[in-house]
């Protein structure tokens, strides 16, 4: 089991770092984030699909195909700033009233309205054929179908805001290693170099750091809990999780945060600003958010009567088993970036 888990994790990390390398060395039309879209699509849409499948097993009026359609619509809106830069061949404007987060809200609204129209058509048909009671399940199913879209797509789309985040101090961009910045030869002349630096280096460094902290917390909690776990953390929801494992996750996350932000990045010549105590605060918040995300998935799996969210990743389970801690981490991590904590 552990060997399969480590092998799958290695393959996933290899794919992720390959996309990161392509994004830094060979950006498509100079736009940061394009190479990350496949990773985002597989993990995000896979998570929404698995969540809807578990819900459908318990409540048959939830239709996974409709949930997946809504998730695609919401995801496309969330990556609009990336698509804008790709199509228009210039960075997404910082003075756009919608901003980047606004597109996530728009995507959620459009997806819910499209699913509502579909539900109204089915409601009318079933009401005529089988009566009001049967038709009421359609409305119930529509409401429940919004849960995977709101819980999964909206937070995961915030990762794009982390990636595209620019230095908060006007006129003082981060010191980014040359290999992190796409060469001007791979871009059209209309893309200013400073925009490329701000999006590909500063944001990518934060994205890697947040994911690293969250997953190191997961690993620390897993191994410490396996070896030293005695006191159950949430026995009814997830009997395998222990208080000792949680403490191990906090400690490993804290060390990882300081090593990355105070050691690795400065060693590469990159300065992101922040505070000395910021990494510790963010490590604590990200670990707490990761545990809540993990327990949320465990609760849904327990209600559906399944051990893993899926079987697409040997040793790890499904996509949701990978993203469970990353979903709340996106929001908390982005708030930390905006607060310039690290």
Q: What's the 3-state SS for 114-133?
A: HHHHHHHHHHHHHHHHHCHH
- Each residue's pLDDT expressed in tens, for the chain with a length of 342 residues: 667 777 877 888 888 888 888 888 888 888 888 999 999 999 999 999 999 999 898 888 899 999 999 999 999 999 999 999 888 888 888 888 998 899 999 999 999 999 999 999 999 999 888 888 888 989 999 999 999 999 999 999 998 888 877 654 433 444 444 444 444 333 333 344 444 433 446 788 888 899 999 999 999 998 999 888 889 988 899 888 999 999 999 999 999 999 998 888 888 777 666 677 888 999 999 999 999 999 999 998 888 888 777 777 877 788 998 899 999 988 999 998 888 776
For residues 324 and 313, the answer to whether their CB atoms sit within 8 Å is: no
Which of 279, 302, 295, 306 minimizes the C-alpha distance to 328? 295
Structure tokens at 205: 């460094």
CA dihedral 286, 291, 294, 296 (to 10 degrees): -110
Structure tokens at 18: 């390959």
Q: In terms of residues, how long is the chain?
A: 342
**What's the predicted TM-score (pTM) here?**
0.84
**Is residue 310 helix, strand or coil?**
coil
Looking at residue 181, what is its pLDDT?
45
Distance CA 271, CA 268 (A): 9
Distance CA 158, CA 169 (A): 21
Distance CA 192, CA 215 (A): 34
Distance CA 135, CA 57 (A): 19
Which of 36, 61, 6 minimizes the C-alpha distance to 203? 36
Looking at residue 169, what is its pLDDT?
44
Looking at residue 194, what is its pLDDT?
41
Give Cα 2 to chain centroid, integer Å: 24
**What are the residue ranges of helices labelled H in 242-325?**
243-259, 265-267, 278-304, 319-323
Looking at residue 167, what is its pLDDT?
52
Q: Could you tell me the residue range of the domain that residue 65 belongs to?
A: 2-338
Please classify residue 13 by burial: count the beta carbons closer than 10 Å to its beta carbon, then call 0-12 exposed, 13-18 middle and 19+ buried: exposed
**Is residue 182 helix, strand or coil?**
coil
Distance CA 286, CA 305 (A): 28
Tally of domains in the chain: 1
For residues 301 and 268, the answer to whether their CB atoms sit within 8 Å is: no
Distance CA 228, CA 148 (A): 35
For residues 50 and 310, the answer to whether their CB atoms sit within 8 Å is: yes
**Is residue 164 helix, strand or coil?**
coil
Question: How big is the chain by its Cα radius of gyration, in Å?
Answer: 21
């Amino acid at each position: 089991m552990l060997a399969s888990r480590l092998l799958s994790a290695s393959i996933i990390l290899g794919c992720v770092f390959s996309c990161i390398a392509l994004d830094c060395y060979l950006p498509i039309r100079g736009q940061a984030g394009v190479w990350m879209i496949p990773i985002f699509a597989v993990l995000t849409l896979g998570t929404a699909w698995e969540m809807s499948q578990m819900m459908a097993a318990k409540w048959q009026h939830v239709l996974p195909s409709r949930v997946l359609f809504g998730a695609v619509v919401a995801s496309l809106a969330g990556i609009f700033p990336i698509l804008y830069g790709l199509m228009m061949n210039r960075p997404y404007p910082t003075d756009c009233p919608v901003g980047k987060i606004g597109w996530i809200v728009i995507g959620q609204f459009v997806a819910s309205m499209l699913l509502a129209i579909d539900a109204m058509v089915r409601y009318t048909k079933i009401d005529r054929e089988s009566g009001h009671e049967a038709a009421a399940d359609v409305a119930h199913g529509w409401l429940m179908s919004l849960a995977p879209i709101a819980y999964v797509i909206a937070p995961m789309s915030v990762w794009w805001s982390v990636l595209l985040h620019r230095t908060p101090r006007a006129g003082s961009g981060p010191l980014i290693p040359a290999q992190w910045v796409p060469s001007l030869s791979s871009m059209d002349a209309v893309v200013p170099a400073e925009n490329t630096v701000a999006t590909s280096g500063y944001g990518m460094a934060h994205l890697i750091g947040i994911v690293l902290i969250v997953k190191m917390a997961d690993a620390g909690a897993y191994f410490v809990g396996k070896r030293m776990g005695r006191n159950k953390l949430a026995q009814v929801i997830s009997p395998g999780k222990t208080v000792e494992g949680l403490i191990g996750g906090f400690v490993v996350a804290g060390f990882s945060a300081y090593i990355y932000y105070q050691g690795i990045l400065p060693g590469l010549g990159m300065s992101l600003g922040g505070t000395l105590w910021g990494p510790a605060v963010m490590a604590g918040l990200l670990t707490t958010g990761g545990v809540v995300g993990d327990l949320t998935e465990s609760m849904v799996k327990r209600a559906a009567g399944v051990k893993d969210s899926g079987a697409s990743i040997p040793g790890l389970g499904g996509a949701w088993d990978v993203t469970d801690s990353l979903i709340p981490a996106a929001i908390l991590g982005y708030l930390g970036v905006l607060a310039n904590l690290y």
